[in-house]
């Protein structure tokens, strides 16, 4: 199992300001599964991803990434887990503006202790894999939104993470760029990468192995039918 959560809960505030952002969620994602999580704004999708990837600590419940228990980890171990075992992809890309595409990607490998030569080689390989070999020396400002997101996906893959967690990765993209990113996720899926994608886009959900609808911090509906387009009503 790549990812597992039990009774996962995150509350904000207290008494009359209490928000149950994530409310006793149970989840199991086998290695290689693509899981789509859909739901209205504010239902807890981002918080859930943050809990799964060790960006935030739960109020209650347990999370395992591979063999590692995440919720009780030390800060030091968490930093390492986020660096080595999780690849994050955000709606707004979060690239470093002053670094080129290849530098943005190799940074994660350098921080993980790879030699500069190996980090560069891996970054160039990943750029090629996302179809941007000819954009290695471009700054993010010289790339389109779809290209920036593909650089961000390459960066997420740089340390061969157990799981890629993507939070509305096509939320800022037009249709053509969305299709590029969609094709890339499809390729990652085919290559056996475990993926959890929060999305409003039914086209991404349609290629997922499993679609979970979230409401008020909890799973409202779970569609395990492979290849079935989620119709939003069931």
Q: Residue 181 binds which entry of ligand ADP, Mg ion, none, with Cβ cut-offs from 5 to 8 Å by kind? A: none
Q: Please state, in angstroms and as integers, the Cα–Cα distance from residue 59 to each residue in 22, 81, 160, following that order.
A: 9, 19, 29
| Options 7-15, 41-49, 157-165, 204-212: segment touching Mg ion (CB under 5 A) | 41-49
Burial of 84 (0-12, 13-18, 19+ CB in 10 A): middle
Of residues 64 and 219, the one with the C-beta less far from Mg ion: 219
DSSP 7: E
Those residues with Cβ within 8 angstroms of residue 161's Cβ, 6 or more apart along the chain or in another chain: 84, 85, 86, 87
Those residues with Cβ within 8 angstroms of residue 169's Cβ, 6 or more apart along the chain or in another chain: 89, 90, 91, 149, 153, 181, 185, 197, 199
Nearest approach in angstroms of CB 116 to Mg ion is: 36
Q: Residue 42 binds which entry of ligand ADP, Mg ion, none, with Cβ cut-offs from 5 to 8 Å by kind? A: ligand ADP
Q: Residue 136 binds which entry of Mg ion, ligand ADP, none, with Cβ cut-offs from 5 to 8 Å by kind? A: none
| Options 45-53, 149-157, 158-166, 172-180: segment touching ligand ADP (CB under 6 A) | 45-53
170 is a contact residue toward Mg ion (CB under 5 A)? no
Residue-wise DSSP of 118-183 = HHHHHHHHHHHHTT-GGGTT--GGGS-HHHHHHHHHHHHTTT--SEEEEESTTTT--HHHHHHHHH
Of residues 46-105, those binding ligand ADP (CB under 6 A) = 46-47
User: How far apart, in whole angstroms, are the C-alpha atoms of residue 155 and residue 171?
Assistant: 18
Of residues 71 and 167, the one with the C-beta less far from Mg ion: 167
Nearest approach in angstroms of CB 22 to ligand ADP is: 7
- Answer for which of 7, 42, 116, 232 binds ligand ADP (CB under 6 A) is 42
Nearest approach in angstroms of CB 50 to Mg ion is: 9
Of residues 13 and 42, the one with the C-beta less far from Mg ion: 42
Pairing of strands 218-223, 210-215: antiparallel
Find, among 181, 206, 184, the residue nearest to 193 by Cα.
184
**Structure-block tokens of residue 174:** 């037009």
Of residues 43-62, those binding Mg ion (CB under 5 A) = 46
Of residues 140 and 217, the one with the C-beta less far from ligand ADP: 217
Of residues 193-222, those binding ligand ADP (CB under 6 A) = none
Q: Which residues bind Mg ion (CB under 5 A)?
A: 46
Q: Which residues bind ligand ADP (CB under 6 A)?
A: 12-13, 19, 21, 39, 41-47
């Amino acid at each position: 199992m790549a990812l597992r959560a039990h009774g996962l809960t995150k509350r904000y505030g207290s008494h009359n300001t209490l928000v149950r952002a994530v409310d006793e969620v149970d989840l199991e994602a086998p290695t290689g599964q693509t899981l789509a999580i859909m739901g209205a704004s504010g239902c807890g999708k981002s918080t859930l991803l943050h809990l799964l990837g060790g960006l935030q600590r739960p109020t209650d419940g347990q999370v395992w990434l591979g063999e590692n228990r995440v919720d009780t980890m030390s800060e030091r171990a968490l930093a390492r887990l986020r660096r080595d075992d999780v690849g994050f992809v955000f709606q707004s890309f979060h690239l470093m503006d002053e670094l080129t595409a290849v530098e943005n990607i190799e940074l994660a490998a350098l921080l993980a202790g790879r030699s500069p030569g190996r980090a560069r080689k891996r970054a160039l390989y990943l750029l090629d894999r996302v179809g941007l070999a000819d954009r290695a020396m471009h700054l993010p400002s010289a790339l389109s939104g779809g290209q920036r997101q593909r650089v961000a996906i390459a960066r997420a893959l740089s340390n061969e993470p157990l799981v890629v967690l993507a939070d509305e990765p096509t939320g800022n993209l037009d249709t053509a760029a969305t299709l590029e990113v969609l094709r890339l996720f499809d390729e990652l899926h085919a290559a056996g990468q475990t993926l959890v994608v929060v999305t409003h886009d039914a086209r991404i959900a349609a290629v997922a192995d499993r679609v979970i609808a979230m409401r008020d911090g909890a799973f409202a509906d779970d569609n395990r039918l492979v290849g079935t387009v989620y119709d939003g009503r069931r």
